Every structure is written in C-alpha cells, then in structure tokens.
Chains A and B, each alone.
Chain A
Amino acid sequence: MESAFRRGAREGLRDFLPVSVGLLPWAVVTGIAMRSIGLSEIEALGMNLLVYAGTAQLGSLPLIAAGAPLWLIMLTALALNLRFIIFSAAIAPIFHGQPFARRLASSYLLVDGVFAVGAEKLLKADDPQWRWGYYIVPSVFNWCVWQSCTALGIFGAEFVPRDWSLEFMVTIALMVMMLPMVRNRPMLIAALAGGLGAVLLRGLPLRLGVVAGIVIGIAAGFAAERWLLRGEAA
C-alpha cells in the first residue's frame, strides 16, 4: 500500500503544477534583472539561494543599484515580505509535532504559490505524514524550478544587448505582481497613496521616500477600510 507521505506528495504536486507554469517568466526575469543592475553570476546565484523571495529580490535591486543604506534595503525587503508573517501564522498548525529541522526547512521554502494552492487542504487534513508530503514535495519542486529558471536568466542575460533598458523588466515585474493585489478598494487606495507619497517625498535623503511611501500607503489602506466599513454600517 502507498504511504500517506507519497499520497500527499502526489496530490500536492498535481494541485501545484498549474501554478508553477506561471512562475517561469518571473524566474527568468529575476535572473536577467539581477544581472542588469551589475551583479556578477556568482552574486546573482548567491542572492537567489540566500534570499529566495522574488518580490523582495526584485524590489531591492533598484536600491542596491543606487547604493542605498543597508537598513533601508532591509526595511523595504521586510515590507515586501510581511505577507509571509500572515501565511506563517495561518499555516503553523500543520507543523504541530514536527521536529525543528523540518520547521526550519519549511520556513525557508514557504512561498505564495504553495500556500495559496494548499493551505485549505492542509489545514483540513488529519494525517501528519500526508500533510508533510503535501507541503514539502511541491515546495521543494518549486525551489528547483525557481533556481533553474533563474539560472537560465542569469546566464542568458549576457546575450541581450546592454543598451536595451533591461532594468525596466524589474518595474514590469513589480507592476504585474501588484495588479492582482489591488482588486479591492482599500488595497487600491493603499497602493495609490504609497506610490504618490514616494513620488512627492522623493527629495528625502537616503531614498527615505520609499519607506515613507510604504508607511503612508499602509495608513491610507487601513483608514480606507475603516471608512468603508463605517459607510456600510450606517
């Protein structure tokens, strides 16, 4: 009889496979983008292994290119990664009873795609072996796809002419990521306020305008949510 781990793994892969196709352009673009701001192949591969978070990687590239201070890069990466705290809190119960090493590996490997596809099934399942297979196998698969396609971009970047404004691919990538997020009104207001705030405050030293924009955006989103709720209640 097939073990619970393998059944979980197979079901997880089947659910996750369609999502992983959408990942391919991201990975290739991230690879090209890292090279386009001047990282060497080794540095780009290193960033990919260490950080392993497309949004934070792409978001930090303009700041690294501009020589922004470390703490600002950290804050921006943190802001782009904050959603993982929510995912982590939501998915934590499925690791009940698992050893620390597995929890650590699972933390490093936690990505939007696997969470979005699998969180509901994972939280409903009772068998720890099935859950472990369903979570870890697609996560490792995602890691392999991401690393190999990014490497493709990293080593392919040199065949693209230098003066093609490739750094604009970063902006395109960030935009495409943002669009599905701003489908509701408070989110849209948060994004608009964040973007305009960053433009208006661009004169601040140390590229602080970015952080100021993020704070303004969060506050605006929160305020808009409150205001809309009050409107509905009245």
Chain B
Amino acid sequence: MIDGVWLWVTLVLMSMTTVGTRGSFILLGEKGRLPPALQRTLRYAPAAALSALVVPDLLIDGGEVTLFNPKLLAGLVVIAVALRWRNPWLPFLLGMAVLLLMRKGLGW
C-alpha cells in the first residue's frame, strides 16, 4: 500500500496524466494535429488496459490460475446482467451478491 506523502505525489502525478491527455489538443490550439494511424492505434489502449487489470483478478485466486473460483463466476454474472439489462446498479448488486453468497454462504 502506498501511503503518506508518496500517495499524494502519486495522486498529483496521476492528475497530470488526466489534464495532460484531456488538454493535449485543447491547449495546443490549432498548432497540433494527431496522425490518423496513431489515432487508430490509441483506440485500443483503454480496452487492453481495462482487460489487463480485470482478467488477472478474475482468473487468479489465492495466487493460482483457476477456472473454478467465486470471482470468475461472479464476473460472468456481471457480464450477463450488464448485457441483458440497462439498469446501471444491477451489475454491482448481483455481482456482489453472487460473490458474497459463495464466499460467506458456501464458504468457498
């Protein structure tokens, strides 16, 4: 866990990535243009980054890769619910319910 002064340093640096990316062309004005090839490539960054964070958390339980674990099952429920219904609260409610049911109810 990062804490104390280093946490604040981290937060300030992170804020620079936000304002830096958001402001890139707005602050530059008419001086800059993004090459189309780079623009197309950059489109893949968010999906790749989100997945690189999510998939390990779903597949690794207790340090081991396993297809049978409560988080993966809860994750599949989240995907099904999010694809089926538009209610923004449901994936959180049902995903957490499945995870808690298996961890607390079944002691998995």
Contacts and interface: CB of A to CB of B under 8 A. Distances in A.
Given A92-B28, A177-B50, A62 B44 contact: no
Interface of B is mostly: helix
A77 B22 CA distance: 13
Contacts, number: 283
Contacts of A83: 21, 42-43, 45-46
Contacts of A182: 47
Contact of B34 (A73, A85, A168): A85
A84 B19 CA distance: 9
Interface residues of B, number: 69
Nearest to A65: B1
A109 B62 CA distance: 40
B23 A107 contact: yes
B64 to A, nearest CB: 11
Given A43-B7, A77-B14, A209 B56 contact: yes
A156 interface: no
Given A83-B43, A176-B91, A225-B40, A217 B49 contact: yes
Interface in B1-37: 1-3, 6-15, 17-30, 32-34
Contacts of B51: 178, 190-192, 194-195, 198, 213, 217
Interface in A91-124: 91-93, 95-96, 100, 103-104, 106-108, 110
A95 B26 contact: yes
A93 B8 CA distance: 34
Interface string A48-72: 0011110111011010111110100
A47 B11 contact: yes
Given A78-B21, A222-B44, A67 B53 contact: no
Interface size class of A (residues with CB under 8 A): 35 or more
Contact of A86 (B3, B34, B52, B75): B34
A113 to B, nearest CB: 12
B21 to A, nearest CB: 4
A214 B82 CA distance: 24
Interface of B: 1-3, 6-15, 17-30, 32-34, 39-60, 65, 71, 74-75, 78-79, 82-83, 88-89, 91-92, 95-96, 99-100, 103
Interface of A: 21-22, 24-26, 29, 37-39, 43, 46-47, 50-53, 55-57, 59-60, 62, 64-68, 70, 73-74, 76-89, 91-93, 95-96, 100, 103-104, 106-108, 110, 164-166, 168-169, 171-179, 181-182, 186-187, 190-199, 202, 209-211, 213-218, 220-222, 225
16 contacts: A47-B11, A51-B11, A52-B18, A80-B45, A81-B20, A88-B21, A89-B24, A89-B25, A100-B27, A108-B22, A165-B99, A178-B51, A198-B52, A217-B44, A218-B41, A221-B44
